[in-house]
Amino acid sequence: MTVLRWLDRPGDQGVTWGVPWPRGAVERDTPFALSDAEGRPVPVQSWVTATWPDGSVKWSAHAAGAGPHSEHYRLEPAAQAADLGENAVTVTRRDGDLIVGTGVVTWTIGGGTVARSISRGSREIARNVRLVSLRQSEPTPEEDGHVARERSAGVVESVTVEQDGPLRAVVRLEGRHGDWLPFTVRLYFYAGAEQVRILHTFVWDGDPERDFLAGLGLSADVVMRDEPHDRHVRLAGSDGFLTEAVRGLTGLRRDPGEAARRAQVEGRPAGELDPEVARRLHLIPTWGDYTLDQSSADGYTLRKRTKEGHGWVTIPAGTRSAGYGYVGGVSGGLGFGLRDFWRLHPTRLDVRNAATDVATVTIWLWSPSAPAMDLRFYHDGMGQDTFEEQLEGLEITYEDYEPGFGDPRGIARTHELSLRAHDATPTADELAAHAAAVNAPALLAASPERVREADVFGVWGLPDRSTPAHAEIEDRLDFLFDLYEREREQRRWYGFWDYGDVMHTYDSDRHTWRYDVGGYAWDNSELSPDLWLWLQYLRTGRADVFRFAEAMCRHTGEVDVYHLGRWKGLGSRHNVQHWGCSCKQLRISNAAYRRFYYYLTADERTGDLMDELSVPEETFLAIDPLRKVREDVYTPDRSALSVGLGTDWGSLAAAWLTRWERHGDERARDRLLGTMAGIGAMPRRFLTGEGRLDLDTGRFDTSRDQISISHLSSLFGLPEMCAELIALDLDVPGFERAWLEYCRLYLAPPEQQEAETGRRLSGISLIQAHSRLTAYAAARTDDAELAAWAWRKFRLGEGDQLNRNPLQHQENWELTLVDGPRVPHPVHEAPFVSTNSAAQYGLAAIHNLVLIGKHLTAR
């Protein structure tokens, strides 16, 4: 039995969540039962998202329909599923259209649009829901000049029903904006819900030198039936809503009556008007057009006009709009919203023609008011035409530049939107609740204790403050997360392409992050902040940690990775622009970074990202990651592909394991187990550093006899993946021995390294990060002396010449206020923190506390 609680807010429009189960506890075809806090049965729809090697359920996903929420729920395997009740989602086909009903609203899907119509009961609320875009052939001029814009509507080319109820239905739409911008839209329907969640993903496939996206949005036409003074427009501000009527009755020279004025403001029928007002209604202007423009994270503007061809009137502006609105009347209308509206700026909400029979609303994901999206590379190459020159550039700015590689073609972005069909104008409180639901979608979650009992995601444990030494580390883990949450706000890490990522390294001289210095700018998952954040969420259950990790998962899985073209399946190393680095590697598109979010939420788009890695080994045909630094002669060879046994194989293993446990893919299983066995059979095992993989057999050449150590091998999920694989008890000869050998020797004294391998290992650095390898070996062999050695390396970071990792040398982790004329605005900084050190401190601390916590002593 699993107790489920709301992550941070309850939901009433339907919810989907994931639950892990211990190996062997639940057979695959077992039904599930859900009950509320009072023990009453609640209808639930269930499916399996992952299985253990023995075929039992590892992760299950569940959905509940709309309705009053309970404080908590109980989920348990049952002999028989609970009765589904009266409400159910229906999915039918009629005359070539797809008709989806929730029992409250009905969507008709077809005709190449997102939806032909949206009805509530017998009344049509909206029609012609469509994607729209604007395109320029040149960037927006900085001063004089004009560039023509081409407008196009997205055409849906295929419709797929991924789930058809009874409580949750998912419809996937795929198409293109004319001759570019392929998109995928998923529509989520829940039994009894009036809201439909929309997940929109597009892949940028233009030429950055001549294609400039000037607008991207979702439009819908709303049927307007009521008198203009009974039509209402609501747009979310920073705290509440702009409350307007198409034809206003307040503030007139002649008073329509208090009852009428109050009713209009509250969204109710104005009723009978004073005759002196009623006979002059035609002389009151009708305001048909409204625009809310969020140009930055710090400000939005509002304006309205009577209709096209007439001047705009400004409305008092504000800071951060919640990105939600309503247009309609007392007989019904449409609520519309965009999640993270101000965080993903430039965005815009438009209402047009509200004084006519049909109004149009548009949720702009890229505001047409902003300069057109410009994805050209940020410098001219500075003469770096050869590998030698590029390596020199790497030495000074840490940027791995190569002509033609800073190409955005193939990157993607996902947005979450909402359309809600109302039978009347919602109240202010209802609108506020709807906006909150869009920006923090409800999620049910099992407790950290319950997730830990299922033994998923490898090495992590619950917070431990049992001694002052333990509490100090826990305090530092909290400090690091709180720092990054504060930094995101202080440094405004927001924007269409940027939100969800963090910066790589701090510049203490300028009191800012190195946003403009080559490889020190956007982090792009370097040294696994994704893993650190997800493990910190699992162990604490903190909603703020989840939301931060969720935003990072959305960003790094979409923007930092190529989804089509020559680098499909690969990601880009850290850079001033997310796609700017010439290092395209699987370590960035790593499935290990996506699995958490997918299993906790059953999010189909994240499943797509992992499915893109169904044959991850073939990405090594596209590009050699070591091409600039190789001393041997090598070109990608299908029968002998160069694969690093650290960052490369760790990413391959994550993709294969995930494919196997999600889909039962035997090819992925065989490649995983075969390469594990190959590593165990190599003379130097993990110390070999690099293997040659035969793509056709999925096996390594095991004859290579060399020692090659990289300080990065274990810092992109390899320790986490190896621990998880060993815990699965897959009976792969030699693999555990190979991994324990590497864990023991990496930080071992040079004399011990020489005694066991015949040489002292070189390339040893990032000491604190690697202490978790020593800890793992100590725990598996129950070696107290090795555990003490691991804690020493964690605390002192001896010999860390590459990163210098000043975290462990800073006795008092405190923020420093910097204000006055030295900085644009006051900031609280921690200049001793970089993302490399923060992420790896977090992972090492989490591992060490659970593996060798009993050996931790006071300093």
* Beta bridge mates, 188: 170, 197
Bond before 625 cis per omega within 30 degrees: no
Domain count, the chain: 2
Residue 19 belongs to some domain of the structure: yes
In terms of domains, do 12 and 158 share one? no
- CA–CA–CA angle 652, 655, 658 (5° rounding): 145
Q: Which residues of 299-325 are buried (b: 16+ CB within 10 A; e: fewer)?
A: bbbbebbbeeeeeeeebeebebbbbbb
3-state class (DSSP) for residue 767:
helix
Helix (H) or strand (E) holding 176: strand 168-177
Look up the domain containing 233 and give its range: 90-247+285-375+412-439
SS3 250: coil
- The helix (H) or strand (E) run that includes residue 786 is helix 784-796
Taking every pair of C-alpha atoms in the chain, what is the biggest distance, in angstroms? 102
504 and 512 in contact (C-beta within 8 Å)? no
Q: How far is it, in rounded angstroms, from Cα 587 to Cα 528? A: 9
Question: Is residue 645, in this structure, part of any structural domain at all?
Answer: no
Amino acid identity, position 236: A
Same domain, 201 and 56: no
Beta bridge partners of 173: 159, 185
pTM of the complete model: 0.97
Taking a C-beta distance cutoff of 8 angstroms, is the pair 439, 339 a contact?
yes
Q: Is 56 inside any structural domain?
A: yes
Predicted confidence at residue 625, as pLDDT, reads 84
CA distances to 499, 674, 806, 838 from 769, in Å: 27, 29, 12, 10
Q: What is the pLDDT of residue 707?
A: 95
What gap in Å lies between CA 533 and CA 528, rounded to an integer?
A: 9
Q: Is residue 807 part of a domain?
A: no
Number of H helices, E strands in the chain: 18, 38
User: Cα separation of 616 and 613, whole Å?
Assistant: 5
Name beta bridge partners: 190. Answer: 168
Q: What is the pLDDT of residue 636?
A: 84
Q: What is the DSSP string of 195-227?
A: EEEEEEEEE--S-TTT-EEEEEEEEEEEE--S-
Domain check: are 70 and 110 in the same one? no
The predicted pLDDT at position 802 comes to: 35
**In contact, 246 and 307? CB cutoff 8 Å:** no
Same domain, 100 and 157: yes
Same domain for 94 and 206, yes or no, is yes
- Please say whether the beta carbons of 638 and 696 come within 8 A: yes
240 inside domain: yes
Q: Does residue 237 sit in helix, strand or coil?
A: coil
How far is the C-alpha of 721 from the C-alpha of 582, rounded, in Å?
26
The per-residue b/e assignment along 32-46, b for 16 or more CB within 10 angstroms, e otherwise, is bbbbbeeeeebbbbb
Q: What tokens appear for 794 in the block?
A: 């964690």
Domain CATH number, residue 162? 2.70.98
∠ CA(215), CA(220), CA(225), 5° rounding? 140
Residues in the chain: 859
Q: Are 552 and 533 in contact (CB under 8 A)?
A: yes
Return d(Cα 303, Cα 314) in angstroms, integer.
4
Q: What are residue 517's phi and psi, to 5 degrees?
A: -115, 90
Domain boundary among 44, 77, 110: 77
What whole-number distance in Å separates Cα of residue 391 and Cα of residue 388?
A: 5
- β strands within 671-801, DSSP E: 690-694, 699-700
DSSP-assigned letter for residue 388: H
Same structural domain, 124 and 15: no
Angle at 77 between CA 660 and CA 593, to 5 degrees: 35
Predicted local confidence at residue 383, as pLDDT: 96
Same domain, 208 and 148: yes
The CA radius of gyration of the chain, in Å to the nearest whole number, is: 29
Do 68 and 125 lie in a common domain? no
Tell me the average confidence (pLDDT) per consecutive run of 10 residues in the chain, 859 residues long: 95 97 96 96 96 98 96 91 78 96 97 97 97 96 89 96 97 96 98 97 97 98 98 97 97 96 97 95 97 98 98 97 98 98 98 98 98 97 95 96 97 98 98 97 98 98 97 96 98 98 97 98 98 98 98 98 97 98 97 98 98 95 88 85 96 98 98 98 96 96 95 96 97 96 97 96 93 98 97 78 47 90 95 95 97 92
Picking from 77, 104, 129, the residue at the C-terminal end of a domain is: 77
Q: Are residues 165 and 95 in the same domain?
A: yes
* Beta-strand relationship, 332-338 and 150-153: unpaired
Q: What is the C-alpha separation between 742 and 737, in angstroms, rounded?
A: 9
Final residue in a domain of this structure, among 50, 77, 104 = 77
| Residue 204 domain flag | yes
State how far the Cα of 575 lies from the Cα of 408, in Å rounded to an integer.
13
Residue (of 73, 25, 190) closest to 445 by Cα position? 73
Say yes or no: 9 and 126 in one domain: no
Q: How far is CA 347 from the centre of its chain?
A: 19
In a domain, 311, yes or no: yes
Residues 227 and 249 sit within 8 Å (Cβ to Cβ): no
Structural domain contains residue 518 = no
Find residue 241's DSSP bridge partners.
Answer: 236
Query: Do both 196 and 114 map to the same domain?
Result: yes
- Do 119 and 71 lie in one domain? The reply is no
Q: Give one DSSP letter per residue of 389-453, joined into a string.
A: HHHHHHHHH-----TT-S--TT-EEEEEEEEEEESSPPPHHHHHHHHHHHHS---EEE-HHHHHH
